């Protein structure tokens, strides 16, 4: 199965979600020492140019792709409709995939979830302080 999406500009992502996602990606990139990781935001679009084979669709909720990492990319893809808390968790998870591919040449879903959970326990409280921003 293939899903279709369109990339959207950072400015079109709700501020609180964008900030939470960016902070989580920055934290994960720093902790894992993978270098700067850019976020490509997307929204579902049946006519979108971004086609995602289901093998890359790692986070689902009712068949909605939350995020993905394609091996070799220096960016992660994140759904712009998640809200701040999910966006932060997805950012941690997807950067872990970048690290996995860079260090071992593979993608390990259970490890990415486990690492994101543990990292959330340490840093998560930083990701949901959205005072003064849209939700």
Q: What is the pLDDT of residues 41-64, one digit of tens each?
A: 999 887 877 776 555 555 555 667
As for how many domains the chain has, the answer is 1
Asked if residue 134 belongs to a domain, the reply is no
Q: What is the pTM of this model?
A: 0.86
Asked if residue 63 belongs to a domain, the reply is yes
CA 43 – CA 4 distance, rounded (Å):
9
Asked if residue 48 belongs to a domain, the reply is yes
Look-up of token digits 């902070």: 23
Strands 75-79 and 38-44: parallel
Q: What residues in the chain have per-residue pLDDT under 70?
A: 1-2, 52-63, 125-135
Asked if residue 133 belongs to a domain, the reply is no
Asked if residue 118 belongs to a domain, the reply is yes
- Note down the domain range covering 92: 2-125
CB atoms within 10 A of CB 126: 12
Asked if residue 107 belongs to a domain, the reply is yes
Asked if residue 34 belongs to a domain, the reply is yes
């Amino acid at each position: 199965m293939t899903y279709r999406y369109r990339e959207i500009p950072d400015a079109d992502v709700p501020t609180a979600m964008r900030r939470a996602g960016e902070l989580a990606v920055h934290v994960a990139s720093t902790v894992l020492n993978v270098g700067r990781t850019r976020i490509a935001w997307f929204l579902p679009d049946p006519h979108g140019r971004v086609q995602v084979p289901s093998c890359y669709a790692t986070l689902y909720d009712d068949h909605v792709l939350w995020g993905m990492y394609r091996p070799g990319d220096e960016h992660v893809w994140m759904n712009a409709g998640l809200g701040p808390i999910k966006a932060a968790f997805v950012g941690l998870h997807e950067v872990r995939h970048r690290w996995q591919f860079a260090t071992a040449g593979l993608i390990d879903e259970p490890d990415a979830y486990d690492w994101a959970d543990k990292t959330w326990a340490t840093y998560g409280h930083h990701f949901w302080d959205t005072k003064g921003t849209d939700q």
